[in-house]
Structure 1
Amino acid sequence: MSITGESSMKQVLLIITLLLMAGCSVIPSLSQPIEITDATGHTETLDGIPDRIAIAGKATIMVQDTIFMFADAREKVIALENRSQSAFSFLPLIDPGLEEKEIFEKNVGPEQIAAVQPELVLMKSFMAEQLGEPLGQLNLPVLYLDLETPEAFYQDIQTLGQVFGDKKRADEISEFYQSRVATIEENLAGVTEDQKPGVLILQYSDREGEVAFKVPPVSWLQTRLVEISGGNPVWKEIDVGGGWIVVNLEQIAAWDPDQIFIISYDGNASDVKIDLMNNPIWSNFRAIQNGQIFAFAYDFYSWDQPDTRWILGLQWLATKIQPELNSNIDIMEEVYEFYSVLYGMDQETIDANVIPILTGDIP
């Protein structure tokens, strides 16, 4: 090699070295302290990106399903709580190592959580006083997920992006949801108030043989889904406080909605719908006479909840409430996209484990 060639090579190597050094200087260390503020305004300073994460408290499925949209959750979630609507009807499909994790009993206490030595505990925001504060007294970092509205959901996704050190994935997830909401909003841009049908969402329950129908609070996700889908929630004038409220037949008759959507968290909304259609009292309601009573879509869980499936629930609702304007939404295609993009499931797995369990009025 000539002197000139050798000199040029040295210059190239020097430039590469300097570029690498410059790049390293802006890449944060995984052990560098990070400060995260969640959707509730609560702030935690962590020693670094946590490697040991526990999930605890009520509404566990909503938290875990959101967390597991990040691939690193499979390795970093080391413990979770087993509650009703069991965590284990869906998670085994996306986390083969689930059996190796610590499974907390229902209503686990702070001492049991501390025993697994988590570097971070994640839970629903309404668990702050009951469980989050006691964990804080044990010097365990806690962050809360709200999930109750689309806006809160997007913020929670960005929080998790910080937790996993993966803003790119957080942005991908947000884009998946926001683009689909935008499609519906564009479809319905010209809809006037008088073109919006009166919609009633009813949760059916028969605990201890006591049949009841309930409506959600105005501030809850179910109400927002109806509004975004181009419907008018007829129960909005009721101040239902902080939870589902029982309504009687007289109130339902007074509303006499154009459409009725039946929710059952036991997965039997289709059976309830058939019973109501054959009931001599319910058959007098306008919605039933016009064939506008629907069993809410359901796979592992009902699609109306502040779980990751709310986007499927929104798309499904939109095709029922304003079917002509939302004819560009293929709900079955969206099911495949949802499980593929958000959970990395291939078509064979979806065909074998998701499609056969779909219930409700799908498509």
Structure 2
Amino acid sequence: MAHKKGIKHPFLMSHPCSSPQQILMRKIIIVSMLVVIVLFMSGATCLHAQQIIVTDALERQINFETPPQRIVVTGKAFFMITDALYLFPAAADRIAATGIFQQGAQSFIAMLDPKAAEKAVFAPNAGAEQIAAFQPDAVILKSYLAESLGTTLDVLGIPVVYVDLETPEQYLRDLRIIGDLFGQPERAEELVEYYQHGVEEIQTALHDLAATQTPRVLLLNYSNKDGVTAFQVPPLNWIQTRLVELAGGEPVWRESNPGKGWSTVTLEQISAWDADVILIVSYFKNLTEVLREIKADQTWNAVRAVQTNHLYAFPGDLNIWDQPNPRWILGLTWLAQKLHSERFADVDIIAVTQEFYQKLYNLDTAFFETHLRPMLQGDLQ
């Protein structure tokens, strides 16, 4: 039987009349076609790789064909979300619109983003139709806005990503959600590690704390509307309550406000709680002025924490550190030291604050000393 020789592709077979130049040209065409096919397949793979799947705080899965470039952050307490978004390098280019800032948050974002003033702004009562008209690629909302705003955005075809950012535990989860949305999961893990390490250090120092060493703590929000002063306690599931617990304190108001918002309390109730330590927060009036006003009020003289000089202004800078924004870890560190100074004698809260801005926002020491340290307020020492 005759041995069969290898079969060549007809396009590559030499025709009796083919010149060497024609054969070379055919080979070049074949190679070019192969290159085009490979590039096409690579492009399809890259396109697929750019697809993003986000599972939000409501455990909804949102699919993005490409990373969202026009992100809107709006709704009540949106500025808490914005501060968290700017922990990621992608935020400045991706955030296209926000709500109207409060509590000095706008000036802080302007420090981080030179183009912050160019972004669109939505009024506090902006509806779904107004937001949809902006044609965002994604809208980030607090989860409690799902029914009042998010559902309509869904109907209008606008992808919504929900976050809570309310307790330390939710904060770590939501940082991962944001990291997935920005396509920067590695940065999210860096941030989660920073917060976990900070909490673990405090818990380690307090691990053998006896019940008799746990001070009774009362946190009050100062409010003044139309000349009427009121004091309020936070709900059980808000971050203020968790910070007191994590710092080794007992929130005396724990059973009195299982609701969803600040609850006004009387001075009689404040006296009856007989807290060892009282913490005052004020979001719209200077803390020094608030404490001066309280101490000048004779009716407060009967409160034991005032008599023992354990009435403190919860510190902050552009924002008070008791809130669910990235600075809550500073509030926890300060509070643990304030309640248990003997266990945290080596903690320098100013140095901790400078390190926070360096690691989380990439703001160096010179920037901190010039722009942020002068804004520090409250009973830091």
TM-score, with structure 1 as normaliser: 0.90
Which moves more between the two structures, 39-48 or 79-88?
79-88
Does structure 1 retain, via aligned residues, the 8 Å contact 2:236–2:257?
A: yes
In the TM superposition, residue 200 of structure 1 has moved relative to its aligned partner by: 0.3
**Is 1:229 aligned with 2:247?**
yes
Aligned partners of 1:61 and 1:85 also within 8 Å: no
Moved more, 74-83 or 101-110: 101-110
Q: Is the 2:164–2:171 contact (alpha carbons within 8 Å) kept by the matching residues of 1?
A: yes
Match of 1:11 in 2: none
Cα pair 2:68 2:94 within 8 Å, conserved? yes
1:318-358 CA-to-partner distances (Å, cap 9, x unmatched) read 11111111223221011111111111112222111111111
Which residue in 2 is equivalent to 1:255? 273
How far is 1:86 from its partner? 5.3
Task: Determine the structure 2 residue equivalent to 1:283.
Answer: 301
Please tell me the residue identity of whatever aligns with 1:161.
G
CA distance in structure 2 between the aligned counterparts of 1:240 and 1:151, rounded to whole angstroms: 19
- Alignment counterpart, residue 51 of structure 2, candidates 29, 33, 42: 33
8 Å contact from structure 1 (residues 336, 350) kept in 2: yes
- 2:60 maps to amino acid: H
| Conserved? CA contact 1:61–1:86, under 8 Å | no
Q: 1:30 to 1:205 in 2, by over 3 A?
A: farther
The structure with the largest alpha-carbon Rg is: 2
Residue 237 of structure 1 deviates from its aligned partner by: 1.8
Structure 1: gaps spanning 5 or more residues: 1-20
Structure 1 residue 314 displacement after superposition: 0.6
Partner of 1:152: 170
Once the 2 structures are TM-superposed, how far is the Cα of residue 28 of structure 1 from its aligned partner? 5.9
Distance 1:138 1:318 in 2: 47
Answer yes or no: is the 8 Å Cα contact 1:34–1:46 preserved in 2: yes
Residue 246 of structure 1, CA deviation: 0.6
Aligned partner of 1:293: which letter? L
Alignment: residue pair count: 341
Question: Aligned residues: percent identity?
Answer: 42
Q: State whether residues 233 and 264 of structure 2, in contact with CA within 8 Å, keep that contact through their aligned partners in structure 1.
A: yes
Residue 124 of structure 2, aligned match among 99, 106, 111: 106
> Partners of 2:360 and 2:171 in 1: how far apart?
14
User: CA–CA distance in 2 between the matches of 1:275 and 1:79?
Assistant: 39
Find out whether 1:175 has 2:182 as its counterpart: no
Residue 297 of structure 1: aligned partner:
315
Structure 2 counterparts to residues 70-149 of structure 1, below 5 A: 70-85=88-103, 87-149=105-167
Structure 1, 29-38 or 289-298: larger mean CA deviation: 29-38
Equivalent residues of 1:145, 1:156 under 8 A apart: yes
**Distance between the aligned counterparts of 1:81 and 1:144, measured in 2?**
16
Matched, 1:329 2:347: yes
Any idea what SS the aligned residue of 1:339 has?
A: helix
What amino acid is the match of 1:66?
Answer: A
Q: Secondary structure at the match of 1:276?
A: helix
CA distance in 2, matches of 1:166, 1:29: 17
TM-score normalised by the chain length of structure 2 = 0.86
- Paired residue secondary structure (1:130): helix
Q: Is the 8 A contact 1:276 1:283 kept in 2?
A: no
Q: Does 1:189 align with 2:189?
A: no
Deviation at 1:119, TM superposition (A): 0.8
Cα displacement string for residues 227-285 of structure 1 (whole angstroms, at most 9, x for unaligned residues):
00010111112134111101101111111110000010114222222222233221222
Whole-angstrom CA distance in 1 between matches of 2:299 and 2:109: 41
CA shift, 1:43, in A, is 2.1
Which amino acid in the other structure matches residue 162 of structure 1? D
| 1:17 corresponding residue in structure 2 | none
Structure 1 residue 29: Cα displacement: 4.1
